[in-house]
Structures are given as C-alpha cells and as structure tokens.
Amino acid sequence: MEPHHVERRQRGMAVLIASLVLIIGALGYIGFRLLGGGSSLDYEGQGNGVVQLIEVPEGSSMGELAPELAERNVVKTPEAFSSAANSNPRAGQIKPGFYRLQEEMSAKSAVEALLDDANMVDLLDVQGGATLLDVNVVGGDVRYGIYSLISQVSCTEGGCVSAEDLEKIAATVDPAELGAPEWALDAVRARGEDPKRLEGLIAPGQYVLDPNMDAQEILTDLITRSTKKYNDTNIVERAQAIGLTPYELLSSASLVERESPAGEFDKVARVILNRLDEPMRLEMDSTVNYGLEDVELATTDDDRHRETPWNTYAKDGLPDTPIASPSNEAIEAMENPAEGNWLFFVTVDSEGTTVFTDNYDEHLANVDDAVRSGILDSQREGEGAGAAPDDAPAEEQ
C-alpha cells in the first residue's frame, strides 16, 4: 500500500474519532445539565413568587406546553421541561383547565405543579339572577353575591382580593374607566357612591381571573367583557324597537330573570311592557326584596310601602338600576316578547304552573288558587301582578 493512502486513511479515522468525541461530549453535557448537574438549561426550586396563568387546552399533552412555559419564563428552556415530563410517569394524566404556576420553576417542579389539582384555577361562575352583594335569606342562609364570589376565586399565596375592596372600587371609580357601556354611564353615576350601582353590568358566564390583577383590574376586565356581550346582542337597536333605552332594557331583563318561572320569560317580558304602556306600576316583589337587608319569598305590607330606588310598588316605572345580572335568555325575551294583552300573572302550584290574564278579577281568582295550593301566604292576597307568586320560583334559585 502506498504511503499516501495510509496517511489519508489515518487522517480520516482521526477526524471521525474527533467528531464522535465532540458529539458524545455535547450529548453528555446536555444530559448533565438536564439531569441537574448544572443550571444553564433549568431553574432551581419552586419559583420566584410571580404567578403566571397557564391554560391546558382540552386534548393537549405536557410536551405541547413546553414552548409557552419557556416563553412565559415558568421554566428556563423547553428542553428541560420536555425532559422532566418524559421522566414523570404521570405526565399523561394532566387535566384541561387553567393553572397558577410561578416564574422560574425547575422543570420538575413545573410538571408536578401541573399534576396538582390544587393549582387549578376556580372559575368565577356568575349565574343569571346573581346580585353584586350577598343576600341574607330569612332562616340563616346566605346567597353569595358576585363580589364575594370574586374574592373566593382570586386567592393566591399572597392572599385574596377582598369583597370590601371590590365594593369600594365599584362605588368610587368612574364607570367609564371600568369599561361600562356608554348607554349606562349616566344612570350609574346618578347612584352616587353606591357599591350596587354596577348591578347588572357583569353578565352571567364563567370567567377566568388573572391572579395578578387587583380589584380595579378585575372589575374592569369583567365589565369590559360584559359590555361586549351585551352590545353583541344588538341591545341598542333592540331597545329602541320596543320603546326603551338599552339600560331600561337591561333593568327589565333583570326583572324577567328574578320574576319568571322556567319557560315563561317572554310572557313576563310582555307583562312588563304592557304595564309600562298603560301606565301601571309594575308592583313586583323582587324589586321590594332588592332593597331589604333580609329577604324571604313573602314581602310585608310595610315592605311594599317602603320607598327605595327599586321598589316598584312605591314608585312608577322601572327600578333605578337592574336588580340582578340578566341572562342572555332574559335579554332576548325582552327584545322578543310574546304577543299578548296580559297585565297579571301568578304561579299557582309547586310545579311552577303560571297563569297570565289581563282581567283583574280573574287574577284574584288565580291568586286564590295559589293560596289554596300553599304557594302563597296570606300577605300576598290581592296584590296584583306584584303579589309575588310570580316571583317565587326565581327567589328559590
């Protein structure tokens, strides 16, 4: 064999060996870092206290989260997180939802945090008919209001946003700054510093709250999103079509929500519009209860004579504000009321059967039926459309 062939072969072997050494060294270095032998590819510890809200979409895997976690600085590198996920036999058990993770977590800690249900975010669930403030029900029960519900789901290691802070913001910060719709601003401002002045402006729905937000940021987020929801129903034009302002439509829809048994929203909406057109006082017990500290299904004669901004026995027209958060169904019922001449309605049995009429004597007979069935107590006899049998199903929500 010629010498130059031997030299070429030796040089080729040397290059190959050198390359293999470099590759093996690089792989070893990466493995060393990922397995905890260094810190350049991974953080150490449980995080730095700054919370990030991470969504795990339905059907996604741990590995798919790696780029976002690195981008949000929850973990230092996607590779570190992927390696930690591959090393955890429970990684496939991750549940969809929102999780509170901290920045600068070790990849192993981040994986474990995503597998811990305690880190899942509780959704703020606003039901149709919810009120801003807690309602004390006679008998000792409390129906928690939206401010309290926000406080309950806003908690982090640093504490919770208090209901009192939310009430203060609601009462003192200009509603425009909080994202309220333009058509509600004058009515809200007219209520002065009443923490209930934003009633109805947080639409029913499920919300994820950013744990880094303070009280004002939370209310601004919720009200801004709700304004969009309401405007998306074409509420301005729909209200004009039935002779109401958008805010009056929202207030009317809140009465529908609190007064109506299931399946009768559009009929109760028609009663409200017919009474406003007469004009007749609405006389609805739900508006009486809204101004009371303690409520029950029955309202007394004294309650009904008490002058408040909401009591439609003691004032003409609609309450000064909505009395609850109306659902989209209630809003649509006001926008598309049933056809009819009804002025009165009453629920006559425990199954929720509700009868409507435009004749007062017929209504009194229907009220008698309700009394005999046990739906009404004696304080509600002969009180017209506001005699609260119509209100009972909603108050039991």
DSSP string, 141-174: EEE--HHHHHHHH--BTTB---HHHHHHHHHHS-
What value does the mean pLDDT of the chain take?
A: 85
Q: What pTM does this model have? A: 0.76
CA distance 73 to 55: 15
pLDDT at 27 over 90: no
Q: How many CB atoms lie within 10 A of CB 350?
A: 11
User: What whole-number distance in Å separates Cα of residue 383 and Cα of residue 381?
Assistant: 6
Q: Take residue 370 and report the two structure tokens written for it.
A: 């309700």
Question: Could you write out the DSSP letters of every residue in 181-242?
Answer: -GGGHHHHHTTTT-GGGGTT-S-SEEEPPPTT--HHHHHHHHHHHHHHHHHHTTHHHHHHHT
Residues 234-259 pLDDT 10s: 899 999 999 999 999 999 999 999 98
Question: Which residue would you say has higher pLDDT here, 43 or 11?
Answer: 43
Supply the pLDDT for residue 380.
34
Determine the residue type at 91. Answer: A
* Token reading at 141: 């029960």
For the chain, helix, strand, coil in percent to 5 are 50, 10, 40
User: Comparing C-alpha atoms, which of 125, 129, 64, 121 is closest to residue 98?
Assistant: 121
**Which residue, 141, 81, 138, 89, is CA-closest to 109?**
81
* CA proximity to 86, closest of 67, 63, 105, 64: 63
Exposed/middle/buried for 30, CB within 10 Å: 0-12, 13-18, 19+? middle
The two tokens of residue 44 are 């150490």
Q: Between 140 and 143, whose confidence is greater?
A: 143
Q: How confident is the model at residue 367 (pLDDT cuts 50, 70, 90)?
A: confident
Please name which of 189, 158, 157 lies closest in space to residue 175, comparing C-alpha atoms. 189
Q: Cα–Cα distance between 130 and 397 in angstroms, integer? A: 9
Give the Cα separation of 120 and 130 in Å (integer). 24
Ranked by mean pLDDT, the top range of 47-61, 127-141, 226-240 is: 226-240
Question: Would you state the structure tokens that stand for residue 309, as one six-digit string?
Answer: 């901004």
| 8 Å CB contact between 381 and 367 | yes
Rounded CA-CA distance 75/216 in Å is: 30
Lowest-confidence pick of 5-19, 224-238, 328-342: 5-19
- When mean pLDDT is compared across 73-82, 269-278, 290-299, the lowest value belongs to 290-299
Cβ pair 342, 356 in contact under 8 A: yes
Least confident of 22-26, 54-58, 108-112: 22-26
> If you count them, how many residues does the chain have?
397
Which of the four pLDDT bands, split at 50, 70 and 90, describes residue 292?
confident
pLDDT, position 379: 38
DSSP codes joined into one string, 114-127: HT-GGGBPPPEEE-
Cβ contact 229:205 at 8 Å: yes
Residue 347 — φ and ψ, nearest 5°? Answer: -85, 125
Two structure tokens written together for 376: 């009404």
pLDDT of residue 353: 84
User: 290, 196 in Cβ contact below 8 A?
Assistant: no
Question: CA quadruple 13, 17, 23, 26: dihedral positive or negative?
Answer: negative
How many helices (H) and strands (E) the chain has is answered by 16, 9
Q: How many other C-beta atoms lie within 10 A of the C-beta of residue 138?
A: 11
Average pLDDT over residues 176-203: 97
Strand intervals (E) in 42-159: 51-56, 97-102, 124-126, 135-137, 141-143
pLDDT at 4 over 80: no
